[in-house]
Each structure stands twice: as C-alpha cells, then as structure tokens.
Chain A
Amino acid sequence: MNGLRQLNTHLRGRRLLYFSTFIAAAAASFFGLLQPQVVGIVIDVGIGKKTWTGAPWLAAQFDRLNSQNLILYGALFSIALMAISGFFMYLQYRWSAIVAEDTSKRIRERLYNHLQNLDYEYHTKSNTGDLIQRCTSDVDTIRNFLSTQANEVGSGIFLVITTAVLMASLNKPLTFFSMAVFPILFLFGYIFFSKVKILFSATDEAEARLSETLQKNIHGIRVVRAFARADYEIEGFDTKNIEYRDRSFHLTKLLAWYWSISEIMCFSQIGIVMAVGGWWAAGGKITLGTAIVFFTYVGRLLWPVREMGRTLTEMGKAMVSLRRIQEVFDIPPERETGAYQRKIRGEIEFRNVSFQYKNQRPVLRNINCKVGPGEIVGILGPTGSGKSTLVHLLPRLYRPNEGRVLIDSVDAGSWRSESLRSQVCISLQETFLFNRSLRENIILAAPEIADGLIETSTEAAYLGEVIENFEDGYETLVGEGGVTLSGGQKQRVAIARTLIRLPRVIILDDCFSAVDTQTGANILAEIRKRFIDTTIFIVTHQVSTLKEVDRILILENGGISHEGSHEELIRGDNLYRRIWDIQNVPPETDLI
C-alpha cells in the first residue's frame, strides 16, 4: 500500500476536490434513484389512488394534488430529479478530470524537472525508451485510475448502498430477493478477470513476439534480400501470426463464456425480482408502484456491478505504475555544493586529481597541471586515456575522486554550478540538436542575445556558408522532421552555440572530429582572434591543429606523460612526435 501513500502525496492540494468528487457521485446516485420512486408515486397515488409506502417525505411533496395534476407534477418532478442527478454527475466527471489532470500534470513536470537535474553521468547511460515509457504511459495509467477507475468503483459502491437503503425502506424481504444474485455477479467478474489476467498478458506477449519478428525482418531486410530468404522469413512470421491469432481467439472464447454466463445471472436476478415482486404485488402484499421501483432499481444496478469486478482487477496496474514512477524519483539528483560566483579570469589548476567512474578502473591518476588565463592547451592521447574525462571535470560535469580542480584558485566544487557552467563552456563531440530552427539551436543557452552576435559566432564556427545554402537560412528546421545536418555541420553548430555565450573558458572536446583538418584549423584561428584573453582547451587527434596551441599535454594511461609546446615536443620522442612524423615525412617504405 506504499503506492496509495505516494498517490496521496501526488494529490496534494487537490485532495478536497477529489473528496468532493465522491460526494458528487453519491449525490448523483441519490437523486437518480429517487426518480423511479416518483414514477411509483404517480402510478400508486396518482392513478391507483393508494398511499405511497415508500419515503413519506417524498410522497409529501405530492399531497393535496388532484390526480390529473399529480401526474403532470410527477412527470416534471422526475425530469427535475434526473437533471439534478445529471448536474452532480457533471460535477463528478468534471472534478475528477480536473484532479486527474492536475495530478498528472504535476507528476509530469516533476519527472521532467527531476530528469533534467540528474547528474551528467546518469545521462551517459540512461535508457531513453524506458524513461519515456514511465513518463507517459505510466502517468496515463495513474490519470485513468484517478479519473475513471476509482470513480467507477466509488460511484458503483454508492449506487449499491443507496439502492439497498432505498429498497429496504420500501420492503425488506423483496430487497433480499432483489440483491440475491449481485454478490455472485460481482465475484464472478472479479474472479474471472483475475484468472484471465495471465492470459491477457500471454496474448500481449504473443503480440510483442509478432512485432519483434516483424521489426527484426525490417531491420535486416537487406540481409534477407541478399540471401533470398523471403520464403523462410514469411514462414517464420506466419508462425508468430498464427500464434497471436490463436491466443487472441482463445481469449475471446473465454470472454464469450464470461459474457454469456453473466448474462444468465443478470436474467436470473431480473427474473427473481419480477416473479417475487409480481407475485406479491398480485397478492396485494406490495403496491404495483413499489414493484416497478424494484424492477427499475435492479435494472440500474446490473451494469455497474458487472463492470466493478473487472475494474477492480485492473486497478492493480495503477499501483505498478506508481512504483515505476517512484523509482525514477528515487534516483538521486545532482547535488549543488557551492555558492561561489563571480567573473572567471581563466586560471585553471589540476592538483593531484584522480578520477574513476562508478565501479570501474581509474581513468585519471594524480594529474597536476596549471594553466594561466588566456592560454591555449591542446590535449592528445590514445583512445581511453582520459582526455575527455579530464576536460569534463572543469565545468564539474564530473567530480574528481581525489585532488582538486581549481578555477581562479577556487575549488570547482565551491562554485555555484550555474555560474561555473555558464562561463566554462564545453562543446561536445556528439552534438545533440533540438527539434527547432537553426537559429534557436544556436541561441539555446542565450535566447536574449543580439542578432549581431549570432552572426559573429556562426562565422567563427565557419557555419555562415552552410546556413546561406539552406532555403530558409537561420529559420531552417533541424532534427526530426527537418533537414539532416552532416556530422561536421552539427559539430560546427555546437561550436557556434558555445561561442555565443562569450565563455571565459572554452573547451572543445574532440569536436573537430568530423570537420576537415583545414576547417578545424581555421575555426581555431578565428576563436583565438576573437577570444584573446580566454583560456581554451582543445582535445583533438589532428596534430596540424595542435601545432598552433601554446601547450600540448599528452595523456597516456590516465597520466600526463609529456607536455610542452610544439617545438619542444618535436625534439623529443613522444606520441606527438611520432604522429607528426607520420603526417609529415613521406613514406619511404616500398609501397609495392
């Protein structure tokens, strides 16, 4: 019942309204159930000239009316009762929709916000499909629970109780006969649907296997074709198709049993009340009006009771969804550890920094390095040497396990992340573009920017020409449904959107990898020209680009193996030198 407690939390601020929903439901049942009694009064008192044996206060409304007027008045009164009942029903539906909608809106927003604030490392490994499932269909399940299922069951219960009370006030023994089959009808539904739940999921699984087979085929269609395997594939699909068909049909047959058996139960209930009520009415034990009221009541209860069993079995799903959502909330968000904020000069120091990802081998070991403001540092190293990790420590996207990263002599952990990250800006190797226009993608981080700055940044990123070639220029839609940019174009958009923020420290994390060497070098030259006193870190394999930087760090096995300028490194024996040689000394080996 943990789920209910969580649901209660999500309902905060809307509990009273939700409670009112049930009051409205009760009122709707009550007024709706009075209508048959008015019909009974019209028949017994108005036409039959007898006294009404039911609710005296209701009969009192019709005192001192002649028969003709009583019939008219009764007819109008019955419309009024249904209208009042309808009004409460309207309130019930509307309020429950409001509560369900507000609650799911709140859950959706909280989920979104929570996901935004999880730490960087979580998002390198998150399973998008699963998370989206939790944020959408699980929320929908809860919404459906609040707006429909809980309401159905709630008003069903009120309906049963109110009917029982009203019936009992008319005639207790007949009440017994009128209610006799209902418990069986309810239990039958509840037990049946609990039992076939497994079959429902088995059918769902068969459907899933069918889709899986289909998807496998479509994804591998080139192989299927290349090996002329259409017949084999058709046969395989047919097996799954038959399996799904047969399982669905099996389920349908069971449902056919359910509906026909419960139909017999309904008929028996109606039959019992008509036989007994008719007998007693004929014998004068009850009035004709009373009998008609009983007939109507039984008719009104049949459907809700029939459905209640099924609804109850489906309510379990909401609890499962609540748990799945709670699991997302239970992932700890990134913690804010600092409050320090001011303009950054750009002095960076790594002091005895070591780092390892959760449960993995160390990536960085005891890194020491000091970089002055305005310095341009290149980082080179084999795959997996920790280059990218090292620069991710600067905007505190990761925190070192040991040692300290100092920015202007202040520990990165003491900076307010907003202040730190808006000045230490990193451009990632893999560019994520939002499904908006190019312009909006560039100004993502700084929407209030002047147009002039947009152009300067795009020029610096050598993107101007690309944009001019698009028909809609800056307004071209990118991402899903828009134009597809090449890897190099995407990287340049990422650089432009970094530059537009006028960072104090620029980090280019292997973001020239899809840009040709010459353009890469040009972009770097542009950045140098425009950001004279800005500290720049550049991670790249392109040695021709590194030639231009102030200092090169060579990272091997998690440590700095060599550092120095191009001239210094070229004189020694190191990774940089070896790559430089490959690039610049013509191959002397015999190519034949």
Chain B
Amino acid sequence: MSAMVVLMIIVAAIEVVQPFIVGWLIDRVIIPENFEYMYLFVIVFGLLGIIQAANIFVLIVIAGKLEVGICYDIRKEGFNRLQELSFSYYDRTPTGWIMTRMTSDITRLGDVITWGFVDISWGLAYMLIMAITMFAVNFRLAMVSLSVIPPLILITLWFQKKLLRGYRKIRNVNSRLTAGYNEGIEGARTTKTLVREKRNTREFEEITNTMRRRTVRTATVAAFYLPAVLTFGAVGTALALWRGGSALLAGTGITYGALVSFVFATAGFFEPVMELSRVFADLQYAQASAEKVLSLLEEVPDIREEGTKPLLKSGLPGIEGAIRFESVDFQYRKGEVVLQDFNLEVQAGEILALVGESGAGKSTVVNLVCRFYEPTRGRILIDGIDYRKHSQVWLQSRLGYVLQTPHLFSGSVMENIRYGRLEASDDEVIEAAKLVGGHDFILNMVDGYASDVGTSGAKLSMGEKQLISFARAILVNPAVFVLDEATSSVDTQTEEAIRKAIHRVLERRTSFIIAHRLSTIREADRIVLLSKGRIIEEGPHETLIRRRGAYWELYTRQLRLESETRLLE
C-alpha cells in the first residue's frame, strides 16, 4: 500500500512537472535562443518518460496483485464460511443472494479498495503538488488561477449528487424492465389464454417510457457536467492568461515560461477533481457491497461444535447406531412448533419406516437424526451419548443419505457415486451401483459410467437419480442410513430395484426411511406413523394392519392410489 502511495506521488509529480518543463524550455532555450540546453531537455524529458513508464508498470502490477489477492482471500473465506453454515441459513437465504455476494460484490470491493485507493492518492497528490509548484513559481498568479478550484469542487459535488440519484433510479427501472421480460416470457402461455397480449405490451411500454425518460434526464445532466467543468477550466486558463499576460507586458517579474506553464497547468485542473468525485461515487456504491459481504462472513452457524474442533475422519470412534430421542422439541421458526416432547428409541441395525401426511414431521425427524438441525429442547443420544458431545464430522462421515429430490452434481455418473467415498476405486463404485440395481441402466447410457448427468442430473429420470444417490450413500458404508423416498412415482423397475436394495444393503445398519410406496414400507422392521409431530401408531406392519386403525386407512388409500396410477400410466 505504502509503495503504491509513493509511486502514485511520483506519477503525479511527473505529470505536474510537464507544464513547468515547457516553461523552462521557453525561458532557457526559446527566448534566449540558446540551443545548448536543448540536449539537457531531451535527456531529462526522455528520462522522465522512462521513469514514468516504469512507475506505471510497477504500479499496475502491484495494485493488480493486491486486487486479485484481496478478491481471492475474501472469496476463500466466504466459501469456508458457507461450508460451516447450517441448513437453516440456506433455508432463509436465496442462492442468488449468496452468488451475488460471492461474485460481483467481492469483485467490486477488490476494485474499489485497490484502484479507488490508487485514484485517490493520485488525485490528491496531483492537486497538492500542482498547488505547491504554482505557489513556488508565482504566488500572485497562483492565487488568481487556483481561485477556480473551490467553485469547481462545488459544481462537481452538486452534479455528482444529481447523477448518483439519477443512476439509482435508472437501476430501479432496469430491474423492473428485466422483471417485465421475465413475466412476459414465463407467463406467455397464460397471456395467450387470457388474450392479454396487447394490454401486456401497453403495460410494458409504461416501463420502457419511464426508462427512457429517466435515462435521458440523467444523460442530460451528465452531458452538461463535462462541458461545465471544461468551461470552468477555461476560466482558470483565461485568468492566468489575462493576469499573467498583463504582468508580462508590464514587465513585473514574470517570464514567458511561467505564463505558459500556468496556462497549461490550469487546463489540467478539472481532471483530478472529476476523478476524485468519480471515486467517491464508486465508494458509496461499494459500501453497500462491503456491508453485505461482511454480513455473510460474520454469519454464525446455528450448530457449533462443543469444545473439540472437528477431528480427522480416520481417528473417529465408531458408531453402533442405537439412537434415542429424549423429550425433543423442535421448531424451524419461532412459534411454529413441529415436534413437542418427542420420544423415540431405535435399536442399532433396525430399519424404521416413517409414514404420515405431508407436514407430519417425518423429514424433521431425519433432519434431527442427521444433525442438520439440533433439538431446541431435549436431546438425541447416539449409542447412549448426546450427539452434541461429538463433532458433526463424527456422525456425518458415517451417514448414508438419500434425499427426496436426489441431488446430483454435474459431472459423470462415476464421479457422482464416488462422492460417497472419494478414495473408492472404480470397481468399488461399480459394486455399489450393482448393489442398488443401477448397474444395468448405467451401462445402457451412452458412455456408461463416464456419462455426463447434466446440470443437477437433468439428463436422468427421477428414479435413475434416486438409484445413483442410493449407490453413493451405500459407498460410505454407513452406520446410519436415511432414505427420503421421492413422492413422485418412479417406474416399476426402479421401484423394484430400490425395494431389493433396501432389503440387501440396509441389514445391520440403523435406517430411517421416509416411505411413500407400499413396497418400501413393507421392508421395514417397524413402522412409525406420525401425525402433527406425534407418533400415533407404531409397530410391525402385520400388527398395525390387524389393528385397523390410522395405519390401515393410510395403507389402503395408498393401495388404491398406486393401482390407479398404474392404470393411468
């Protein structure tokens, strides 16, 4: 930073000195018709040129290095923070918001911190050195010429305020414009059915009219600004010319050289003023970015490790898999109680099916098991110990998890399965795929295991994605397994594959299955029927059916629905 300031002062000084070199040339060479000094001029000027070029080079490199370094560091820290934040943060923060903070906001910060700093040092140094030199050369003429600076600053401030307001308004209309297009395109089919094309176009024209009005108004202000400051600069030049010229004519202690130096110097006044005002505008703009980036960096994760920092995965104690909920309360948001005084005991190796209406709390139970959220009251014991005594990695590195809407990363099938255990060999990956019955369909894809799954797995069907994420979860060799079954129907083959896989691979692993389909439900050792956060029935399938209660009702309803769906597909 300090190197940059020194460089900037030299750069400004060389720029300031140029008009005075002209003055020197006039007084020493042209007027006395003395050619000897010419060589000196050429040497000095040439040297200055080289120094200036070197300065600029070093300056850009240093500032550029600083800029990319700042961006890199903030991004890195931001990303690390994002990996620590809890699900609740992602629940309430849109992806777009995070993306903007991490990309353009950080870029803007890096830009303003370095180049804004460069420009400010340059502008201030330029003005200061210019004033000092002018006073040193001719005090009275300096007073006269510099008198235009204060009004120049006032004018600039006034324009800058107007322009900033104008640009803000334009940005607002601009986002309305984009929203208008978005609605016009996304809603085009609805528009057609409602015969609303003309009215839509009319409404859109209101936005484009506002856009035009505001832009032209602001552009007019901007169009006025540059000529205004140039004219003001010309007033400074004229003042120097008039007072200096008169003094020269009267022969009162001023040289041709000094006069010409002042004429040139005044012509460059407006530049630092304009530059500084631009930087201050940028700074205001960047301040908002900085605050938002900081809010991301300072976000505190809801789930914090107690005492011990996460250890290396290898040194972690094993998990048997006995899980107990003890008087657990939970709410996602204040006032919206999902679980209250919830108790549940699961044996190590037991397969548990959670069933019930949507909103009954099934996902909440598994979210708590996985420690994506923690109980607001009560505790959850794994192998008899409150899981908060361990690190998150302890549990999550032995967790097999299949999401309801299976998420795949863009990349190949192989990479996606391997995400479960990064050091797994190709054979192990294939073995896992075979185990869940996905091997055949994967081989049928264009490039087999090397096939690209598309963004978020867009190239695959829901059932196929579910199988791949199943294989991924199996590869972990999990002690605790969670399967959140897709609600939408999958084809019969996939359904069968999943059923078999549950049967084959979940043995001796504590498993929680949020089940929708009968075939899955029936694979469980025990069924827990939830309603409004409470367990209303539990037990093995046969027992519950014999009871002819809520479970029987749910089961028969699902049976009808499934037979009906089969007919309609």
Residues of A within 8 A of B (CB): 35, 39, 42-43, 46-47, 67-68, 71-72, 74-76, 78-79, 81-83, 85-87, 89-90, 92-94, 97-98, 101-102, 105, 108-109, 111-113, 115-118, 120, 123-124, 126, 128, 131-132, 135-136, 147, 207, 210-211, 214-230, 232-234, 237-238, 241-242, 244-246, 248-249, 252-253, 255-257, 259-261, 263-264, 267-268, 270-271, 274-275, 278-279, 281-284, 288, 291-292, 295-296, 299, 381-383, 395, 397, 417-418, 421-422, 425-428, 431-432, 434-435, 444-445, 447, 480, 497, 501, 541, 575, 578-579, 582-583, 586-587, 591-592
Q: For A124, what are the chain B residues with a Cβ–Cβ distance below 8 Å?
A: 189
Closest chain B CB from A461 CB (angstroms): 15
Q: Within 8 Å of chain A (Cβ to Cβ): is B226?
A: yes
Q: Which one of B121-129, B322-330, B346-354, B395-403 contacts A? A: B395-403
Complex A-B: 20 CB contacts under 8 Å: A42-B245, A79-B231, A101-B212, A105-B212, A109-B205, A116-B201, A123-B188, A147-B219, A234-B83, A249-B65, A252-B61, A259-B57, A263-B49, A264-B50, A267-B45, A282-B29, A421-B193, A422-B195, A444-B196, A445-B194
User: How many angstroms from the CA of A434 to the CA of B48 in the assembled complex?
Assistant: 64
User: How many angstroms from the CA of A397 to the CA of B192 in the assembled complex?
Assistant: 8
Q: For B41, what are the chain A residues with a Cβ–Cβ distance below 8 Å?
A: 274-275, 278
Q: For B82, what are the chain A residues with a Cβ–Cβ distance below 8 Å?
A: 217-218, 221
Q: Which one of B154-162, B236-244, B382-390, B441-449 contacts A? A: B236-244
When C-beta atoms are compared, the residue in chain B nearest to A424 turns out to be B193
Q: Within 8 Å of chain A (Cβ to Cβ): is B531?
A: no
Q: Within 8 Å of chain A (Cβ to Cβ): is B487?
A: no
Closest chain B CB from A264 CB (angstroms): 5
B38–A278 CB distance below 8 A:
yes
When C-beta atoms are compared, the residue in chain B nearest to A246 turns out to be B68
With beta carbons under 8 angstroms apart, the residue of A220, A226, A434, A445 that contacts B187 is: A434
User: How many angstroms from the CA of A4 to the CA of B57 in the assembled complex?
Assistant: 38
Q: For A241, what are the chain B residues with a Cβ–Cβ distance below 8 Å?
A: 72, 75-76, 79
Within 8 A of A (CB), among B248-295: 248-249, 256, 259-260, 263-264, 267
A218–B98 CB distance below 8 A:
yes
A39–B185 CB distance below 8 A:
no
With beta carbons under 8 angstroms apart, the residue of B67, B178, B370 that contacts A132 is: B178
With beta carbons under 8 angstroms apart, the residue of A234, A244, A288 that contacts B80 is: A234
Name the residue in A109, A218, A587 with the highest tally of chain B Cβ atoms < 10 Å from its Cβ. A218
Given contacts A71-B246, A282-B33, contact A245 B72 (CB under 8 A): yes
User: How many angstroms from the CA of A285 to the CA of B184 in the assembled complex?
Assistant: 71
B181–A75 CB distance below 8 A:
no
When C-beta atoms are compared, the residue in chain A nearest to B568 turns out to be A382
Name the residue in B54, B185, B259, B419 with the highest tally of chain A Cβ atoms < 10 Å from its Cβ. B185
B245–A264 CB distance below 8 A:
no
Chain B window 34-59, contacts with chain A (Cβ cutoff 8 Å), 1 for yes, 0 for no: 11001001100110111011101101
User: How many angstroms from the CA of A94 to the CA of B219 in the assembled complex?
Assistant: 6
B227–A225 CB distance below 8 A:
no
Main SS class of interface, A: helix
Closest chain B CB from A299 CB (angstroms): 8
Main SS class of interface, B: helix
B56–A259 CB distance below 8 A:
yes
A252–B64 CB distance below 8 A:
yes
A264–B53 CB distance below 8 A:
yes
Q: Within 8 Å of chain A (Cβ to Cβ): is B95?
A: yes
Closest chain B CB from A333 CB (angstroms): 10
B249–A47 CB distance below 8 A:
yes
Given contacts A93-B223, A252-B61, contact A46 B245 (CB under 8 A): yes
B103–A579 CB distance below 8 A:
no
Q: For A93, what are the chain B residues with a Cβ–Cβ distance below 8 Å?
A: 219, 222-223, 226
Q: For A216, what are the chain B residues with a Cβ–Cβ distance below 8 Å?
A: 409-410
Q: For A228, what are the chain B residues with a Cβ–Cβ distance below 8 Å?
A: 313, 392-393, 396-397, 399
Q: Within 8 Å of chain A (Cβ to Cβ): is B172?
A: no
A39–B241 CB distance below 8 A:
yes
Q: For B305, what are the chain A residues with a Cβ–Cβ distance below 8 Å?
A: none
